[in-house]
Amino acid sequence: MLYGADYNPDQWPEDIWPEDVALMREAGVTTVSLGIFSWSRLQPSPDTWDFAWLDRIIDLLHAGGIGVNLATATASAPPWMTTAHPDILAADESGSPYWHGSRQHHSPASPTWRRLAAELVRRLAERYGDHPGVVMWHVDNELGCHLNEDFSDAARDAFRVWLEKRYGSVDALNDAWGTAFWSQRYGSLDEVFPPRNAPFIRNPSQVLDYKRFMSDTWLDVFLDQKRIIRAAGAPQPVSTNMMGAFPPADYASWAPHIDVITDDCYPDPLDPQRRFTTAFQRDLVRSLKRGQPWILMEQATDAVNWRPSNPSKMPGQLAAETAQSIGRGADGIMFFQWRQSRAGAEKFHSAMVPQAGTRTRTWQEAVALGERLAELPELPSPGDDAPVALVFDWENWWAVEGEGHPTRLDYLQLVRDWHAALVCRGIMVDLVPPERVDSRYRLAIAPFLYLLRDAGAAALTSFVEGGGVLAAGPFTDIVDENDRFRDGGFLTQLGPALGVAFEDFRPLVPPARDVVAERAGEEGSAGAGSDQVAAPIGGVGASAAFDGRLRGSGTFVAEAVWADDAEEVATFASGPSEGRPAVTRRAHGSGSAWYLATMPDAEAIDGVLEALLDDAGVAGELDDVPAGVEVARRGELLTVINHGTEPVEVTAPGTLLGTGEAFGTRALAPQEFAFLRAPR
Ligand code: GAL
């Protein structure tokens, strides 16, 4: 179990370093991430290099038994680079450059930045690749975090190269992007730009490709640096810290290239759904590399400083959130950062060693946590623990939230709603793209899978044929990978398995008075292009009741579908699709395929899920999961956490790790958790 933090010794006089190492030993720190923002110290001017300080601190840490996760230090380019090479600067949508003075102002596509970064990484890898204290490489930092879109000339040129590779010819691009519409036909790739500021809805296929391009560009920075590290003969695992469900980076496509998944997670203390949001993030990163543990590379010991207001964590919350990470697959618990900065933009951010020193609750909790982690035996690898696959797909996320659609939706939140319903029942879930749904799962839920690639459709269909239970919909199987309608209507790929054909979307928009209120605040016409919700269709409210074997209400859409060859499990009892099927099921191959023509609301989701779990023969880890309690399985390890503010009685199988005592039925105090050995 790794335990430690980002360490920025270059922000401090050297005489503090020995004290740092002594305190690290006291806290049980095993590993620190070093040098993440040290470029201007390592290369103070174009022709000057200074590695002596880094030699000294790595040696000191190593002598103290502390391993180094060595950063490639490229996350913030030194100011001299802006003046010497203005072409390294990234640009916003209107083409205006970002400037230094914060961090991450460079264009990841700039050949100059890439050349200068490569030189730094090469020197670091050659110098430290065989240092016994270096245990891992930390490429850049949170690639794309602040600068997720770059509209610089360098990005423009690189986008054209990327498009050339993808399409081979401008004719193929014209076809994929549907440029016959609105006179957008290109004569050559030199006429193509990233989707810069435009007066109205931009070509959705172009926007989608640009998002793919940006994600690939950040990945390319990683691959470049990894290649350099390997070319220097450095054998350590190479990683880069991810940010969970971070919209601009398709981590599912990055994961195969990354030796160990590392993730940063900063839950909002004011988020009432916090424990579900974090459980979602942990499940997502665990699912990126099935069967492998991951490392929580950054979390805050206490408050952050970058939200509008930044309350402290409640006592015990840090340990409970840590237990959640371990229960959901983490083998390393690290913080941002070791010692609180005394200057700069993050001086109010918490750390393991606060500005107020070691008498603080934060320090004491960090030390206690270190002790508790050190006592843990080797934990089983997360394996085939999840009977349920929840389809989560970045390309679909980008496309489904595009402009000009029947209704606006928040894809991440909608997938999270399903995830939370499963977590409440103590059921483990993997979050995977459709192509990764296979026979290891018993149930797959694919909400709002608007963009469905051929391979994804094939995987979902063969999952059902092989005996799985699939629940699809709504607003699923609408476009191909280029965000184009396919020939033959909608549900063209999954329709045969579902036994359902599609007529119309029929959005359920907010009640009419909300629309009126929004309009009242607007000037001018409410015509196409105004930034507001569409008028309600037929005066329909925000939900539509459905009735039958399942009852409840649906939200977002009440699609009109024909159940040509499927059982009607429930029918719309109100709303724009009254009388039409709301939930259908069809036996297909050895499995079954359900279609949901609406998104069940918070209450209805339980009943729908119950029916799906029943069909798939999936049960939760505990007979009863009390409110506020979370249970997670990781091989034989069962983690039980009380996230609530009141004590709660829990009955669970297995024995306590450490003492071997049977857990049985016992009360867990607020934020208390238990690790149990509980073979299936
Ligand atoms: C992360 C970043 C760290 C630090 C931290 C503060 O996004 O990687 O360098 O800024 O946030 O919460």
pLDDT tens-place string over residues 66-83: 999 999 999 999 999 999
User: What's the gap in Å between 676 CA and the centre of ligand 1?
Assistant: 33
Claim to verify: residue 105 and residue 235 sit in the same structural domain:
yes
* Ligand 1 nearest-atom number relative to CA 37: 9
Structural domain count, the chain: 3
Nearest residue by C-alpha to atom 12 in ligand 1: 304
Residue type, 193: F
Instruction: Identify whether 155 is part of a domain.
Output: no
Ligand 1 pocket test, candidate residues 266, 298, 341, 349, most atoms within 8 A of CB: 298
Are the beta carbons of 105 and 99 closer than 8 angstroms? yes
Instruction: Identify whether 324 is part of a domain.
Output: yes
> Helix crossing, 170-177 with 153-167: angle to 10°?
90
Claim to verify: residue 362 and residue 430 sit in the same structural domain:
no
* Ligand 1 nearest-atom number relative to CA 141: 8
Claim to verify: residue 585 and residue 637 sit in the same structural domain:
no
β-strand pairing of 637-642 with 330-335: unpaired
Which one of 577, 593, 616 terminates a domain?
Answer: 616
pLDDT tens, residue by residue, 336-352: 999 999 999 999 999 99
User: What's the gap in Å between 153 CA and the centre of ligand 1?
Assistant: 28
Are the beta carbons of 431 and 280 closer than 8 angstroms? yes
Torsional sign, CA 191, 194, 200, 203: positive
Distance between CA 24 and CA 675 in Å, rounded? 25
Instruction: Identify whether 540 is part of a domain.
Output: yes
Nearest residue by C-alpha to atom 7 in ligand 1: 142
Ligand 1 pocket test, candidate residues 142, 242, 304, 348, most atoms within 8 A of CB: 142
Distance between CA 237 and CA 448 in Å, rounded? 36
* Ligand 1 nearest-atom number relative to CA 241: 8
Q: Which residue range is the domain that position 641 belongs to?
A: 629-677
Residue 171: CA count within 13 A, CB half-sphere: 0
Claim to verify: residue 396 and residue 299 sit in the same structural domain:
no
* DSSP assigned state of 307: S
Instruction: Identify whether 189 is part of a domain.
Output: no
| pLDDT, position 532 | 35
User: What's the gap in Å between 226 CA and the centre of ligand 1?
Assistant: 22
User: What's the gap in Å between 262 CA and the centre of ligand 1?
Assistant: 14
Claim to verify: residue 50 and residue 136 sit in the same structural domain:
yes
Claim to verify: residue 296 and residue 411 sit in the same structural domain:
no
Just list the catalytic residues: 142, 298
Ligand 1 pocket test, candidate residues 243, 335, 346, most atoms within 8 A of CB: 346
Ranges of residues in the chain whose predicted pLDDT is under 70: 510-541
- In residues, how long is the chain? 680
Site residues for ligand 1, CB cut-off 6 Å: 141-142, 145, 264, 266, 298, 300, 304, 336, 346, 349
β-strand pairing of 469-472 with 567-572: unpaired
Would you state the torsion angle of the CA atoms of residues 57, 58, 62, 66, taken in this order, to the nearest 10 degrees? 90
* Ligand 1 nearest-atom number relative to CA 36: 9
User: What's the gap in Å between 141 CA and the centre of ligand 1?
Assistant: 9
Claim to verify: residue 609 and residue 648 sit in the same structural domain:
no
Distance between CA 303 and CA 475 in Å, rounded? 39
Nearest residue by C-alpha to atom 3 in ligand 1: 336
Instruction: Identify whether 424 is part of a domain.
Output: yes
| pLDDT, position 383 | 84
| SS3 state of residue 181 | helix
User: What's the gap in Å between 123 CA and the centre of ligand 1?
Assistant: 25
Claim to verify: residue 240 and residue 370 sit in the same structural domain:
yes
Q: Encoding tokens for residue 316?
A: 């015990």
User: For position 243, which CATH number holds?
Assistant: 3.20.20.80
User: For position 657, which CATH number holds?
Assistant: 2.60.40.1180
Claim to verify: residue 448 and residue 537 sit in the same structural domain:
yes
| pLDDT, position 529 | 34
Instruction: Identify whether 381 is part of a domain.
Output: no
Ligand 1 pocket test, candidate residues 336, 340, 349, 352, most atoms within 8 A of CB: 336
Nearest residue by C-alpha to atom 4 in ligand 1: 336
Claim to verify: residue 429 and residue 549 sit in the same structural domain:
yes
Listed in sequence order, the residues at least 6 apart from 266 whose beta carbon sits closer than 8 Å to its beta carbon are 298, 299, 300, 304
Which one of 592, 616, 640 terminates a domain?
Answer: 616
Instruction: Identify whether 525 is part of a domain.
Output: yes
Distance between CA 405 and CA 411 in Å, rounded? 13
Which one of 374, 400, 424 terminates a domain?
Answer: 374
User: For position 472, which CATH number holds?
Assistant: 3.40.50.880
Claim to verify: residue 356 and residue 403 sit in the same structural domain:
no
* Ligand 1 nearest-atom number relative to CA 266: 12
Instruction: Identify whether 300 is part of a domain.
Output: yes
User: What's the gap in Å between 50 CA and the centre of ligand 1?
Assistant: 25
| pLDDT, position 399 | 98
Nearest residue by C-alpha to atom 5 in ligand 1: 336
Claim to verify: residue 97 and residue 222 sit in the same structural domain:
yes
